Amino acid sequence: MNQGDIANYSAQERLRDGRLATIRSIQRADKGGIADALRELSSESFYRRTFATKRDLTDRELSQLTEVDGETVVALVALMKEEGRDRIVGGGRYVRCNGAGAPSRAEVAFLVDDAHQGIGIGSRIFRHLVSIAQGAGIRQFEAEVLPSNGDMLRLFSKSGLPVTATATRETVHVTIELPAAG
């Protein structure tokens, strides 16, 4: 999948509760929707994803989230129709973290707003990120997860992919092996 394909990536997914979500590439125009979605999060959900308590993002930070290159950084959002408009209810991304001689790997992270957790949005975003990453030659995802974030740890363990988790005092370092694109 080339950068143009990634920039135009979009798929419909039926969620566990029967509703539809659109999983698509993030766009520059999503800045307001991202800011709105982050304001809707509980402090706990925000902290689980960012490891920070800061809630408001600067314009520069919003630009960094929404202006991605589709190669080093791939970012997807999940949208659902609510009150007649598309609303961002989750998102995920991977960032390549290759060093010289290192296998092709990326750090992965995602977040679903509180009102939409538990209906399969995170697992669908993850599945799409895996597919895109495989096509880009990435063989491994890594993530830092708080030990209290059992939902994220379960999502990884139920992904059907080989997962290794190493706990430290502050985080759980998760490594997910991605099969080669077939």
Q: Can you give the pLDDT at residue 43? A: 76
pLDDT at 99 over 60: no
Orientation of helix 31-40 relative to helix 59-66, angle to 10°: 110
Q: Can you give the pLDDT at residue 83? A: 87
Which pTM value belongs to this model? 0.90
Q: Residue 84 is part of which domain span?
A: 3-177
Q: Can you give the pLDDT at residue 55? A: 60
pLDDT tier, 44 (very low <50, low <70, confident <90, very high otherwise): confident
**DSSP state letter for 146:** -
Look at residue 168 and tell me if it is in a domain. yes
Look at residue 74 and tell me if it is in a domain. yes
> Taking residues 87-102, what's their average pLDDT?
82
**Residue 68 and residue 26 in contact, taking contact as beta carbons nearer than 8 Å:** yes
Look at residue 111 and tell me if it is in a domain. yes
Closest CA to 27 of 60, 59, 70: 70
Q: What is the CATH number of the domain that holds 72?
A: 3.40.630.30
Q: Are strands 10-14 and 73-82 parallel, antiparallel or unpaired?
A: unpaired
Residue with tokens 């994803």: 49
Give the Å distances, CA to CA, from 93 to 85, 136, 169, 170: 23, 14, 25, 22
Look at residue 182 and tell me if it is in a domain. no
Number of neighbouring beta carbons within 10 Å of residue 123 = 19
C-alpha gyration radius of the chain:
16
pLDDT in tens, 134-178: 999 999 999 999 998 899 999 999 999 999 999 988 999 999 999
Look at the chain and report how many structural domains it folds into. Answer: 1
Residues 6+ apart with CB under 8 A from 164: 174, 175
Average pLDDT, the chain: 89
Cα separation, 53 vs 136, in Å, equals: 33
